[in-house]
Structure formats: structure tokens, C-alpha cells
């Protein structure tokens, strides 16, 4: 398991909770020393245009520093997916998040749809065809769902309980890659008040076992939400520990 990270993600680029000071640091501090860290390059405009319209790219470009950070976030997801298809599971410790970004709009602290860009790029390269996207954030990833809604080869699932996740995975046994939108705001000490830290380990194990059995071990995850800095790093580490149980 590798962690994709760039120092640019530590910077406070906006006023929303996803951009808050210390949010990335609390995760970094939990993971450093336990995993190998690798640095991404920024996404190119052609990468962005795999899932976004030019007008949307131009809109985000007008946001200055937000655009600069968002390019590295998309690049981080791309690198995580590249590592995954090479047989090395990866977690993209990135921000801004992305799952609320559609082709020509965005909201919810998101600008570019990182996971959609990463999936679309691997499909374009021909390394994978069928992809199962699992979203464990508190909020439904409307952007991801909208982008792939007419594509029968990309399945999107938003977690509502662990049994639902098991059922989703069971009907996606022929997928080539599992991609996880890893939000942590469903935790009992975050906005959602639902999942325990142990539940994230269980989720990680379920995803990793499925990928190991049906996808040659090919899976990756990207950071989405999660806003309680006191527990966020521990929850991310719990998910990655589950990934390592395959």
C-alpha cells in the first residue's frame, strides 16, 4: 500500500472545512512511517477534459490557487489509479475532494472529480474496462454518479450499510478495478454519527478481499470528506489497515 501525497495539500486554499488548517496534517501524522509516500504530478488539462467540459475547467482556472491545488488533487488520484493497475494498491491523500463535481458544475467543497478523472484515464489507456466505484462518504457523490450514469461499464455505489456494500460487490465480480471515494464524515464523532473506526477497517477488508478475488488485487482510494481532526487520521489509518488484510 502506497500513499500519494504532495506538500501542496497542506496549504489552506479556501475557507471551507475541507481546506481547513491541520486537516491533512492529522492524517499525514498517522500514516507517516507506516506506508511509503509517493509524490504526484499535476493533472493536465486533457486529463480534466476526460470528464469535464471546457467551460468548467475555465471556471475553476479563474479561481487562482484553488485551480493549482485541484490540479495536484486530480493528479494524485491519477497516480493512485496507475499504481493500482500495476498491482500496487494506493491511497491518495489529497484535497480538494471531488465527488460532487459533475461535467459542468461543482459544489460541496469539490472542484474537479478526482476519482472520475482517474477512472476515465485508465479506461482511455485500455488498462481496465469495467470499474466498480464505492463511495463511503456521508454524502452521495452526485458528480460521480452523473458522469458515469450512461456508462454500463462503470458502476457507482454509495454506502448506506455494510450489508449493502457486500451486495454491491457481489454483483460486480467481473470488474477490472475497484475505486473508493473515501470520505470519513459518516463517523460517530463526525457529521454522520454512524460508523465506528472499526467499521472502516471492515470496509477496507471487504474491498481488498473482493479486489484480490476478482480484480487481481487492483484497487485504490482517494480522500473525500471527513472533518473532525481528532479522529480523522485514525479513521483513515483504520481503512488502510483493512486494505492490508487481503
Query: Annotated active-site positions, please?
Result: 100
Q: What is the 3-state secondary structure of 169-182?
A: HHCCCCCCEEEEEE
Other CB atoms within a 10 A radius of the CB of residue 61 amount to 15
In degrees and rounded to multiples of 5, residue 35 shows phi and psi of -135, 155
In this structure, what C-alpha cell is assigned to residue 220? 485504490
Q: Closest Cα partner for 114 from 131, 128, 132, 93?
A: 93
Strand partners, 134: 157, 180
Reduced to 3 states (helix: H, G, I; strand: E, B; else coil), residue 195 is: strand
CA angle 180/183/184 to nearest 5° reads: 130
Cβ(193)–Cβ(153) below 8 Å: no
CA dist 83 and 218 (Å) reads 9
Amino acid at each position: 500500500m502506497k500513499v500519494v501525497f504532495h506538500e501542496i495539500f497542506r496549504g489552506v486554499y479556501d475557507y471551507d472545512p475541507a481546506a481547513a488548517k491541520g486537516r491533512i496534517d492529522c492524517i499525514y501524522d498517522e500514516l507517516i512511517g507506516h506506508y511509503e509516500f509517493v509524490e504526484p504530478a499535476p493533472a493536465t488539462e486533457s486529463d480534466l477534459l476526460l470528464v469535464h467540459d471546457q467551460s468548467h475547467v475555465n471556471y475553476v482556472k479563474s479561481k487562482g490557487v484553488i485551480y493549482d491545488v485541484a490540479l495536484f488533487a486530480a493528479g494524485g488520484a491519477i497516480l493512485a489509479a496507475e499504481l493500482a493497475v500495476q498491482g500496487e494498491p494506493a491511497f491518495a491523500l489529497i484535497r480538494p475532494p471531488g465527488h460532487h463535481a459533475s461535467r459542468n458544475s461543482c459544489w460541496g467543497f469539490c472542484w474537479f472529480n478526482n476519482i472520475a478523472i482517474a477512472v476515465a484515464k485508465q479506461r482511455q489507456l485500455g488498462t481496465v474496462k469495467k470499474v466498480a466505484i464505492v463511495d463511503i462518504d456521508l454524502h452521495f457523490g452526485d458528480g460521480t454518479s452523473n458522469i458515469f450514469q450512461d456508462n454500463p461499464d462503470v458502476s457507482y455505489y454509495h454506502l448506506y450499510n455494510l450489508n449493502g456494500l457486500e451486495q454491491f460487490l457481489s454483483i460486480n465480480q467481473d470488474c477490472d478495478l475497484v475505486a473508493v471515494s473515501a470520505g470519513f464524515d459518516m463517523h460517530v464523532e463526525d457529521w454522520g454519527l454512524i460508523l465506528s473506526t472499526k467499521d472502516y477497517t471492515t470496509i477496507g477488508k471487504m474491498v481488498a478481499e473482493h479486489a484480490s478475488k476478482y480484480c487481481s488485487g487492483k484497487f485504490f482510494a482517494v480522500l473525500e470528506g471527513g472533518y473532525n481532526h481528532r479522529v480523522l487520521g485514525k479513521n483513515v489509518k483504520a481503512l488502510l489497515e483493512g486494505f492490508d488484510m487481503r
